Amino acid sequence: MGLLAGKRALITGVANRWSIAYAIAKAFHEQGAHLAFTYQGERVRDEVEKFAAACDGAPVFECDVSSDEHLTRLRDGLAERFGELDTLVHSIAYANKEDLAGRVYQTSREGFRLSLDVSAYSLVALVGALVGSLNDGASIMALTYLGATEIVPNYNLMGIAKAALESEVRYLAYDLGERGIRVNAISAGPLKTASSRQVGGFSNILGVVPKVAPLKRNISAQDVANTAVYLASDLSAAVTADVHFVDSGFHAVGIPPLDLR
């Protein structure tokens, strides 16, 4: 028996074994949750299906979150093959690589639209499609990053998208609170993932965090997964509309040590 025994969770955004969503799904499975997965594109399908098979044959659904047709198919597929949800994990983000460098004012209109649609509106769209499938008292969580509220060079458009995502978390929490449904975000510190490698200078951030953060270390994907388990469990029944930092305290440091300036 684990903290999530009997709970049903939909995990989005698993790309490979280095992704944060993978670590969260693995921790959920170890804590007794029944899982379902989405994937976007044939490129990751085999990897997700292989992982799902190892998670007691969890169902897998193709879902391009920018397509209302896909969202409708996801809703219907879950109802037919999985049942009602206790947890929804949103771990989806995208920006064109050229919009993660240079000047923000050089961002193209289409690049801005695409990133905000996939990285931010997708949470609203998923909740809208699945709200009838969510049990009262369910937990929704989204993955975000410090660049939503602070300047992180080269994070650029993604920081803007994450700021929108964090705002959505608060408004969705208000809308769904009467049903006891909690909505939170996890702001993970830097990790080596396929997505993070698209951000220029990322390796420099990994070098700075252990020197500046109160805990003097970088985080692991397991650190994020542990927080996700807490948010999915009944231990967080009164916790909603918040951003939970898992970054060794890095977000709280105002002025770095003088020898790093």
Burial label for 170, CB within 10 Å (0-12, 13-18, 19+), is: middle
* Residue 38 main-chain phi, psi, to 5 deg: -115, 160
- What 3-state DSSP class applies to 168? helix
The pLDDT of 202-229, averaged and rounded, is 92
Ordered by where they begin, the domains of the chain are 8-247 (3.40.50.720)
Instruction: Write the pLDDT tens digit of every residue in 72-128.
Output: 999 999 999 999 999 999 999 999 988 888 899 999 999 999 999 999 999 999 999
Q: What does the pLDDT read at residue 178?
A: 98
Give the H or E element holding residue 72: helix 68-81
Catalytically active residues are 145, 155
Q: Could you tell me what percent of the chain has a pLDDT over 90?
A: 86
Task: List b or e across 128-157, with b for residues whose CB sees 16 or more CB atoms inside 10 angstroms.
Answer: ebbbebbbeebbbbbbbbbbbeeebebbbb
- Residue 205: predicted pLDDT: 83
Strands (E), the chain: 8-11, 34-39, 60-62, 85-90, 134-144, 182-188, 242-246
The answer, yes or no, to whether residue 211 has pLDDT greater than 70, is: yes
How many other CB atoms sit within 10 Å of the CB of residue 110? 10
